[in-house]
Structure 1
Amino acid sequence: MSKRIADQTEELVLPILEELSLELVDITFEKEGQNWFLRVYIDKENGVDIEECGQVSEKLSDKLDEVDPIQAAYFLEVSSPGVERPLKKEKDFQEHIGKTVYVKLYQPIDGEKEFSGELVDFTDGYVKISYRVKTKKKEVEVPFDKIAKAHLAVTFD
């Protein structure tokens, strides 16, 4: 159900974002406690502000009211993805080479299912991450289709 709603919401929000020169980062439809939340994460090169989130929220709310794809009561939230921006698409990885990332896998590679380190490269469907184990620097190549979850990671040096 939530995948279908996310797909329908994406169809409705993409023209709005294009008109405002904004990018869609992610859409989630989740139940928290008794309430359902439809969350739309947007961004642009130098970040989005509250006015842009408000514009998208207002226009998307009108479209959702017209089409009415969600039967349950829900809260609509439109916001920035924040500093730990999710990495979902191949282009997300390509655009963030050199940044620190956290990647969780469906199946282990070299006995590990989670890696945190520098995103070194993305080529031919493989994500290359440089990470540290104690004092040793290692690299791992992860097939894009084996990634369960990934996001930018905040580091404190």
Structure 2
Amino acid sequence: MTPFVIRQLGPSDEAALTLLAQEETDFTGEEPSPPLTPEQARAYLQDPNVWHWHAETEGQTIGFLTAQMQRGRHGAAQVVFFDEIGVREAWRRHGVGRALVAALHQKMQQEDISVVWVLADNSGAQAFYQACGYTVSDLQGVMLVRETSA
């Protein structure tokens, strides 16, 4: 396979987010998401607590990872919530996911953050995270969700 690079997105990468939303099925198997508006994308990419990486080769995005730094009121002063990862189907099992996770861990080290949380909604995801050094926490229960009207 062609070599790839990992790049953290920043301001002026709004188009990369639009492309990711349009081609989401190839990365995650899910239906495409509506893309952010240009203003929402700009705010997302300018937020210092939002970390978003792309794996790229020959100008094409082949994988992504998103995470958010959060401040805690006790315990660790800062923690990271590892939100989402996706790799194009043709690039799976070629080290792209592990390279994206390594970029996250490197950023955490630079920021002096030692705790990261991730949710796994299937056995394949759980196995991947465990292969990257994550362990199942006995402290957390079931994730509950509630949507409110905007």
Q: Same fold (TM over 0.5)?
A: no
Q: Which has the higher strand share?
A: 1
So what's the TM-score if we normalise by structure 2? 0.32
Instruction: Choose 1 or 2 for highest CA Rg.
Output: 1
So what's the TM-score if we normalise by structure 1? 0.31
Q: Which has the higher helix share?
A: 2
